[in-house]
Chain A
Amino acid sequence: MSSLSDLELSRRGLLAAGAASAVVAVGPEAAAQESDTMTPGLPPMPVSFEVNGKVRQLSLDTRTTLLDALREHLHLTGTKKGCDHGQCGACTVLVDGVRINSCLSLAVMHEGDRITTIEGLGTPDRLHPMQAAFVKHDGYQCGYCTPGQICSAVAVLDEIKRGVPSHVSARLTDRPRVTNAEMRERMSGNICRCGAYSNIAEAMAEVAGGKA
C-alpha cells in the first residue's frame, strides 16, 4: 500500500462489501481484529495483490482459494464456482496475463500478482471486444460458464499470438495459427453444459479476425 489513492480504493471496496468479510482497509490492527474469528492454530495471513488495476489487501484464512477471495471477500462474483476442483474452468481468471483456474490456487500464493477478472475486461456499458462478440454470436446461454469462457478466450488468442503450441499444433517449432481446431483444443478446459461451443468458436474467430 503505497499511495493515498490505493487506500481510498480499498476503503471503497470495504464499503461495497459490507462489514461481513475479511476485506481489510489497511494496517495490522484490522488484521488483528479479523483474527478473532479465526482458528487459533490457523492465523490469518496478509496478502496483497492487484485486481483489475486496484491494489487489494486482504487478511485471509490460508485455506482460502483465490476464487473465494475474489467472490466472498472482494465480492467480485463474476468469477464463478462450478466445481471447486479444477474440472470445469468457470473460475478462470488471468494472473499476470496467464489464465488459471482460480479454485486450484490459494489466495496467499498470489502476493504481488496482477489479477484480471471478467469485471476487469469490460462492463455492460463498455464491453470488451470478446464480450461483445459473445453477445453478437450468442456464445452463452445460462451464462454461468461465460466469464470463464471469455477470460479463457482472451488468453487463448494471446497464447496463439505468443506462439505457445497446443496438443493439436502440427509442430512444436512452427508458430501456431488461429484455426478452429487450435481454438477448440485450447478452450477445452472450459465446459459449457448448455452447449454454446459452436457459437463461442464464431465469437473467437471474429475477434481473431478469421473464420470459425
Chain B
Amino acid sequence: MRFDTPAGTNPIDRLKVVGKPLDRIDGPLKTTGTAPYAYEHHPEPANAAYGYVVGSAVAKGRIRSMDLSQAKAAPGVIAIVTAENAGKLGKGSFNTVKLLGGPEVDHYHQAIAVVVAETFEQARAAANLVRVDYARAKGRFDLDEELKTAPLTGGSSDEGSSAPGVDRVGKFEAAFASAPVKFDATYTTPDQSHAMMEPHASIAAWDGGSLSVWTSNQMIDWGRGDLAKTLNIRKDKIRFMSPYVGGGFGGKLFLRSDALMAALAARAAHRPVKVALQRPLIANNTTHRPATRQRIRIGATADGTITAIAHESGSGDQPEGGPETAVNQTKLLYAGANRMTSMRLAVLDLPEGNAMRAPGEAPGMMALEIAMDEMAEKLGMDPIAFRVRNDTQVDPEKPERRFSERNLIGCLEQGRQRFGWSKRNPRPAQVRDGRWLVGMGMAAAFRNHINMPSGARVRLGRDGIVTVETDMTDIGTGSYTIIAQTAAEMMGLPIERVVVKLGDSSFPVSAGSGGQFGAPNSTGGVYAACVKLREAVAQRLGYDPANAVFEDGRVRAGNRSAALAEAAKDGELSAEDRIEFGDLGKKYQQSTFGAHFAEVGVDSYTGVVRVRRMLAVCAAGRILNPKSARSQVIGAMTMGVGGALMEELAVDKRFGFFVNHDLAGYEVPVHADIPHQEVIFLDETDATASPMKAKGIGELGLCGVGAAVANAVYNATGVRVRDYPLTLEKHLDRLPPIA
C-alpha cells in the first residue's frame, strides 16, 4: 500500500479497539517471568556452551601478542576466538567501529576475545587467564581540546534528526548585533549510557552454513544484514530472532559484539554458544550518547519577538563517525527571520558514539530550552508567553511548508492550567517549604515524526483467530498490544481473537523500533496487510470488498452476513503487504509537540535536588493506546530526570575510557527519585502521517524534560547551572543564605 495522500475515513476511525487504554497483551507473560529474553531460549538450541567476552584493557593501540595457553588449559574450555583465528570479517553498515578488535584496538573494552567453556563459571575463570601484551598508543580523549580544531560536519541520526554543517537563513550576525535584547550562553551535556536492564545477549547455533541467532535487538533486519556482512555470508543464511527485548533506548539498534561473538564462538565450538555482555563491559564496549558543547544566541525585540537565533554544537566520535545532531530542533521549533545552526565533529578515540533515545533533540533541547528560559527572564516575560509569542505554523526555513499538525500552544496552555503555573513566583529563590527551596520550571517538547516502510503478514485461521506476523520488535513500547488492537479493529474482532508474533526475520520486514517511528509505521504496515486480508475474506465469501463491513466478529455486505471464521472454513486465508510512503513527509513538516513541567525542592543546606511533581502535555497525533503511550512518556520523563540530575559517563582523559561503567557508578533514577507523574494527551489526528493518523510519542516524552527540571532548579535557587547533570556541587556554594 502506497500512502501518498492524506488518510480519509477508514475502519480505524471506529475506535472500538484502537485508542482504548487496554492492558498489554504480553503483561501476564512479563509479570510472571515467562516471556523469553535472549539468553533464555533453553529448549532450543540444546546443549549451549557459555561464551565470555574479553574486552581490551587499552583504549588505543595494538595487541603485540596474546598468550592463550593458560586459558586454553583451564577446566571446561572448549574454544577461544580472537581476531587471529576468527577468519576474515567485514564490518556492518551501521557499525562505525569493528566489533572484534585486534591487532589494532580502537577503544577501551572493545571485544578482543571470547572464551567458550562448558559452564559460565569456567568461561569466566578462563577469560581471566587470557594474557595480552599491548603496545598502547596515544589517543584523543578530550572533547574540548579536540573541538578547537574540529571541522564543521553535517549529519543525520537516521531517525528524523539531521542538520548540515552550517545552515543559514537571513543574516544572523547582523540581526543579532542589532537586536535590542541579546542572549548568549554555552551549555554542556555529558556522555550518557543507555543502561538498559537486559544486557546485550545472544545465543547462536549453526546448522551447516545456516545460522540461528536469538538476540536482543531493536531492528531485526538491520542486525541480520550486518551480521551477514560481518561474517561474509548471505543474509538469507541467518535467522535473527528477538521476540522480547529488555530495553534498548537505541543501544540495541545495531549489531553488537554479543551477537557476533556468539556466532564466531558457536562456529569454533561446533555447538550452540550463549553470550551476554557482562555489565561492566557494556558502557565502553557498546555505544553511548555523545557529549556536546552547545552555544546558543538569541536576539529579540523588547516585546519578545525573536529576530535572530543561532545554535552551534560540537561533539566527538570515532573516525568515520557522525555528530550528535543537537541543533536539529532549533531549525524548526521557533520563528525568527535570521537563523543559523552549525555542528562541529571532533575525532575521538573514546568508544563509538551513536543514537540514544531522541538522538539530537534530547541533548539539544536540554540546552535550547534553558536558553529560552534565560531569554524570557531577560525580557521580563513569562517563559510560556515567550514561547507562545514565537510559535510558528510553518517551517521557519521554508515558510511555504506547513506543519501537518502543530499544537504547541495548546500543550503550553493546558500545562499552565493543569500544573498551577500561576502559583510560580517568577523571581527565583523566593519560595521556601521548611528547609527546601522550591521552584517550578517548564520547557517545550519537540521531536520529529518520520515515515518508514513497514510490512506484515496477517492470517485468518479456521478457528477465526487472526495472527499477525511482522519482524517488528517490542522493546517495552507496547508493540504487541497496539498491533493486536490494529488488527482487531480492521477485522472487526475483540483483541482476544488476535495473536501477535514479533521479532523474527522469517516474518515480513517492519519499521523496527527506534526514533519513535515504531508505533505509527508498524501499525500502518499491519493496516495495509489487513486491507488485503479483508479483500480476500470478502472475495471468499462472495461479497463486494468495497461494501463489506467487518464488525463484531462478522462480515456484512448488503443483506448478507457471515461469521468471519466462515471465510476460512475451507482453509486459512493469508495476506501480506507493506506500507510505503510518498512525499507527504516532505510536503508537510511532520513533528510532535509537548510541554514539560516540573516542580523541585532544593535542600537549602545540602543542595540536594528532589523532583516533587511532573507533568507532560503531548500533541502527537492519534494515541493508539493511552495506557502504553502514557507509560512511554512517564518513562521518558524519568530518563529526563536522570539526564538533568545525575547521568554522566565520566571520561578518564588520560587512559580514554568511561570510568563509571556499571549500574553502581552510572547513576540512573530509582524509585525514590521519581514522584507521581501526570501525562495529558491532546486530542489530535494527523491524516498526513499514516492511515493510523498516529505519530510517535516515546522520544517526545524525553525532549525538554531535562531543561524543565533545570529551569525549576534555577527558579528554586537563583543559581543558573548550564553544565549537565545538575549535581549539588555545581550550585552548593552559591545557594541563598540559610534563613
Identify the A interface with B (CB < 8 A): 17-20, 22, 37-40, 42, 61, 63-64, 68, 71-72, 75-85, 87-88, 90, 117-119, 121-125, 127, 131-132, 134-136, 138, 140-147, 150, 180, 183-185, 187-201, 212
Q: Which of the candidate stretches B88-96, B140-148, B553-561, B660-668 sits at the interface with the other chain?
A: B660-668
Tell me if B279 and A199 are in contact (CB < 8 A). Answer: no
Instruction: Identify which of residues 667-713 in chain B touch chain A, using a CB-to-CB cut-off of 8 Å.
Output: 668-677
- Residues of the B chain whose Cβ atoms lie less than 8 Å from the Cβ of A79: 33
Question: Whole-angstrom distance between the alpha carbons of A68 and B52 in the complex?
Answer: 15
- Residues of the A chain whose Cβ atoms lie less than 8 Å from the Cβ of B43: 18
- Residues of the A chain whose Cβ atoms lie less than 8 Å from the Cβ of B28: 124-125, 127, 131, 135
From residue A152, how far is it (CB to closest CB) to chain B in Å?
A: 10
From residue A75, how far is it (CB to closest CB) to chain B in Å?
A: 5
Tell me if B634 and A198 are in contact (CB < 8 A). Answer: yes
Tell me if B453 is interfacial: C-beta within 8 Å of chain A: no
Given A83-B279, A85-B664, A192-B197, the answer on whether A39 and B75 have CB atoms closer than 8 Å is yes
Q: Which of the candidate stretches B119-127, B421-429, B731-739 sits at the interface with the other chain?
A: B119-127
User: Which residue of chain A lies nearest to B271 when distances are taken between CB atoms in the complex?
Assistant: A20
Tell me if B631 and A143 are in contact (CB < 8 A). Answer: no
Given A37-B118, A63-B121, A188-B672, the answer on whether A138 and B249 have CB atoms closer than 8 Å is no
Interface of A (DSSP majority class): loop
- Residues of the A chain whose Cβ atoms lie less than 8 Å from the Cβ of B48: 20
* Contact flags B122-156 to A (C-beta < 8 A → 1, else 0): 10010000000000000000000000000000000
Question: Whole-angstrom distance between the alpha carbons of A131 and B668 in the complex?
Answer: 25
Tell me if B662 and A83 are in contact (CB < 8 A). Answer: yes
Given A38-B75, A147-B33, A198-B634, 4 more contacts at CB 8 Å? Answer: A85-B280, A140-B31, A143-B476, A191-B663
Tell me if B723 is interfacial: C-beta within 8 Å of chain A: no
Tell me if A90 and B197 are in contact (CB < 8 A). Answer: yes
Question: Whole-angstrom distance between the alpha carbons of A138 and B25 in the complex?
Answer: 11
The residue from B245, B246, B671, B675 contacting A185, defined by CB atoms under 8 A apart: B671
Given A80-B198, A193-B249, the answer on whether A201 and B631 have CB atoms closer than 8 Å is no
- Residues of the A chain whose Cβ atoms lie less than 8 Å from the Cβ of B122: 39, 61
From residue B734, how far is it (CB to closest CB) to chain A in Å?
A: 28
From residue B475, how far is it (CB to closest CB) to chain A in Å?
A: 6
Tell me if B441 is interfacial: C-beta within 8 Å of chain A: no
Closest 4 CB pairs of A and B: A78-B33, A195-B638, A144-B246, A141-B476
Tell me if B215 is interfacial: C-beta within 8 Å of chain A: no
Question: Whole-angstrom distance between the alpha carbons of A77 and B246 in the complex?
Answer: 13
Tell me if B637 is interfacial: C-beta within 8 Å of chain A: yes
Tell me if A195 and B33 are in contact (CB < 8 A). Answer: no
Tell me if B246 and A143 are in contact (CB < 8 A). Answer: yes
Tell me if B499 is interfacial: C-beta within 8 Å of chain A: no
Tell me if B47 and A18 are in contact (CB < 8 A). Answer: yes
- Residues of the A chain whose Cβ atoms lie less than 8 Å from the Cβ of B3: none
Tell me if B457 is interfacial: C-beta within 8 Å of chain A: no
Question: Whole-angstrom distance between the alpha carbons of A121 and B32 in the complex?
Answer: 8
Question: Whole-angstrom distance between the alpha carbons of A125 and B670 in the complex?
Answer: 31
Given A78-B32, A141-B635, A147-B33, the answer on whether A17 and B671 have CB atoms closer than 8 Å is no
The residue from A38, A127, A132, A142 contacting B247, defined by CB atoms under 8 A apart: A142
Q: Which of the candidate stretches B34-42, B55-63, B254-262 sits at the interface with the other chain?
A: B34-42
The residue from B39, B118, B628 contacting A138, defined by CB atoms under 8 A apart: B628
Given A135-B24, A185-B672, the answer on whether A85 and B197 have CB atoms closer than 8 Å is no
Instruction: Identify which of residues 222-254 in chain B touch chain A, using a CB-to-CB cut-off of 8 Å.
Output: 244-249
Tell me if B669 and A143 are in contact (CB < 8 A). Answer: no
Tell me if B280 and A143 are in contact (CB < 8 A). Answer: no
Given A142-B198, A187-B671, A188-B670, the answer on whether A127 and B32 have CB atoms closer than 8 Å is yes
Tell me if A142 and B246 are in contact (CB < 8 A). Answer: yes
Tell me if B31 and A150 are in contact (CB < 8 A). Answer: yes
Tell me if A142 and B668 are in contact (CB < 8 A). Answer: no
The residue from B75, B199, B279, B477 contacting A141, defined by CB atoms under 8 A apart: B477
Question: Whole-angstrom distance between the alpha carbons of A121 and B677 in the complex?
Answer: 29
Tell me if B637 and A85 are in contact (CB < 8 A). Answer: no
Tell me if A141 and B676 are in contact (CB < 8 A). Answer: no
From residue A195, how far is it (CB to closest CB) to chain B in Å?
A: 3
From residue A2, how far is it (CB to closest CB) to chain B in Å?
A: 29
Instruction: Identify which of residues 174-207 in chain B touch chain A, using a CB-to-CB cut-off of 8 Å.
Output: 194-199
Tell me if B46 is interfacial: C-beta within 8 Å of chain A: yes
A and B contact pairs by CB, cutoff 8 A, 24 listed: A17-B42, A40-B75, A64-B119, A68-B121, A77-B37, A82-B663, A83-B279, A83-B663, A88-B197, A118-B32, A118-B33, A119-B34, A134-B27, A135-B28, A138-B630, A140-B27, A142-B245, A142-B247, A143-B29, A185-B672, A193-B196, A195-B638, A199-B631, A199-B634
Q: Which of A121, A199, A200 has the most CB of B within 10 A?
A: A199
Tell me if B627 is interfacial: C-beta within 8 Å of chain A: yes
Given A19-B46, A39-B76, A142-B245, the answer on whether A191 and B30 have CB atoms closer than 8 Å is no
- Residues of the B chain whose Cβ atoms lie less than 8 Å from the Cβ of A20: 46-48
From residue A118, how far is it (CB to closest CB) to chain B in Å?
A: 4
- Residues of the B chain whose Cβ atoms lie less than 8 Å from the Cβ of A140: 27, 30-31, 476
Tell me if B278 is interfacial: C-beta within 8 Å of chain A: yes
- Residues of the B chain whose Cβ atoms lie less than 8 Å from the Cβ of A212: 676
Tell me if A80 and B635 are in contact (CB < 8 A). Answer: no
From residue B369, how far is it (CB to closest CB) to chain A in Å?
A: 20
Q: Which of B36, B37, B42, B662 has the most CB of A within 10 A?
A: B42
Tell me if A143 and B46 are in contact (CB < 8 A). Answer: no
Tell me if B628 and A77 are in contact (CB < 8 A). Answer: no
Question: Whole-angstrom distance between the alpha carbons of A124 and B28 in the complex?
Answer: 5
User: Which residue of chain B lies nearest to A88 when distances are taken between CB atoms in the complex?
Assistant: B663
Tell me if B639 and A191 are in contact (CB < 8 A). Answer: no
User: Which residue of chain B lies nearest to A143 when distances are taken between CB atoms in the complex?
Assistant: B30
Tell me if B26 is interfacial: C-beta within 8 Å of chain A: yes
Question: Whole-angstrom distance between the alpha carbons of A113 and B47 in the complex?
Answer: 29
- Residues of the A chain whose Cβ atoms lie less than 8 Å from the Cβ of B583: none
Tell me if A198 and B675 are in contact (CB < 8 A). Answer: yes
Tell me if A85 and B76 are in contact (CB < 8 A). Answer: no
Given A78-B33, A143-B35, A146-B30, the answer on whether A195 and B634 have CB atoms closer than 8 Å is yes
